[in-house]
Amino acid sequence: MLSSTSRTTLNREKHRGRTDRSELYEILDAGLVCHLGVVVNGHPMVVPTGYGRVGDTLYLHGSTGARSLRTAGEVCVTVTHLDGIVLARSSFNHSINYRSAMIYGVARIVEDAGERIAGLRALTEQLAPGQWDAVRQPTKKELAATAVLALSLEEASVKVRQGPPEDEEEDYALPVWAGVLPLRQTWGAPEPDPVLPPGIPVPAHITERRAPGR
Ligand SMILES: Cc1cc2nc3c(=O)[nH]c(=O)nc-3n(C[C@H](O)[C@H](O)[C@H](O)COP(=O)(O)OP(=O)(O)OC[C@H]3O[C@@H](n4cnc5c(N)ncnc54)[C@H](O)[C@@H]3O)c2cc1C
């Protein structure tokens, strides 16, 4: 279960909140990008970035020069999936179908070598499961240039909107089309690097990534 705190308790549209921890994992595991919100030198900064999950920890990484990653401390991370636009009979009631997760916590700069590798592995695997073992491992120099942040998934919320528009009672009689236009993300065909030597096939784990629902 997701334990609700004073920060993660939904105030508006509480019925859209989800409390099952597995729904948090599903949203995180299905995403590729999160938005990392952090205050840097007194100013809020929201950075789109990759991530990976190991159990109840989210890992983020980046250049040691990235300000948002140098500053371990209070952060808020969101992951959002857009599932469709909701076209209502009034402009006021237009909406978006979505699944979204919000995580609060104190980000920790990962120092332990083993945990750093585990976090980096999760980040690569988030993009394409099977990729970490298929490619060259990071060098000491690459590792030294990479900051890895860990964020506990302890304090998190999930909000989901599904279904048709919710119009005003009197508007249902209007001769206006209303409904949902679903939005689906699909992978395209793999595009080999133009300088790829001949004879290297697209690996199965990449082909499988294209399968519907992955
Ligand atoms: C793609 C998308 C588009 C949206 N468009 C709009 C819009 O145009 N206008 C609008 O008012 N709202 C929109 N929302 C909903 C918006 O994210 C907020 O839930 C809503 O505005 C309520 O904000 P609040 O500050 O009153 O939240 P509160 O209910 O006060 O938030 C309290 C706590 O609830 C949790 N929470 C709130 N929202 C979310 C969320 N989306 N996901 C996970 N946890 C959450 C957080 O832990 C937060 O700290 C959109 C959401 C998504 C995903």
CATH, residue 30: 2.30.110.10
Widest Cα–Cα separation across the chain: 67
Instruction: Please report whether residue 82 resides in a domain.
Output: yes
Strand partners, 54: 57
Q: Around Cβ 104, how many Cβ atoms within 10 Å?
A: 18
Residue with tokens 């983020």: 60
Total structural domains within the chain? 1
In short, whether 156's Cβ falls inside 6 Å of ligand 1 is no
Q: Is residue 167 part of a domain?
A: yes
Does any domain span residue 70?
A: yes
In a domain, 88, yes or no: yes
Domain containing 160: what range?
14-183
Specify if 106 maps to a domain.
yes
C-alpha of residue 98 to centroid of ligand 1, in Å: 11
Reading the chain (214 residues) residue by residue, the pLDDT tens digits are: 898 899 999 999 999 999 999 999 999 999 999 999 999 999 999 999 999 999 999 999 988 877 777 666 899 999 999 999 999 999 999 999 999 999 999 999 999 999 999 999 999 999 999 999 999 999 999 999 999 999 999 999 999 999 999 999 999 999 999 999 999 999 999 999 999 999 999 999 999 887 755 4
Beta strand 146-152 pairing with 57-63: antiparallel
- Residues 156 and 1: their CA atoms lie apart, in Å, by 10
74 strand-pairing partners: 106
Is 57 part of any domain?
yes
Contacts (Cβ under 8 Å, ≥6 apart) of 121? 52, 132
Nearest to 29 by CA among 58, 60, 65, 63: 58
Quick check: 69 and 147 in contact, CB under 8 A?
yes
Confirm whether 197 is domain-assigned: no
| Mutational pocket test of ligand 1: of 10, 14, 24, the residue with most ligand atoms within 8 Å of the beta carbon | 10
Note whether residue 196 is domain-resident: no
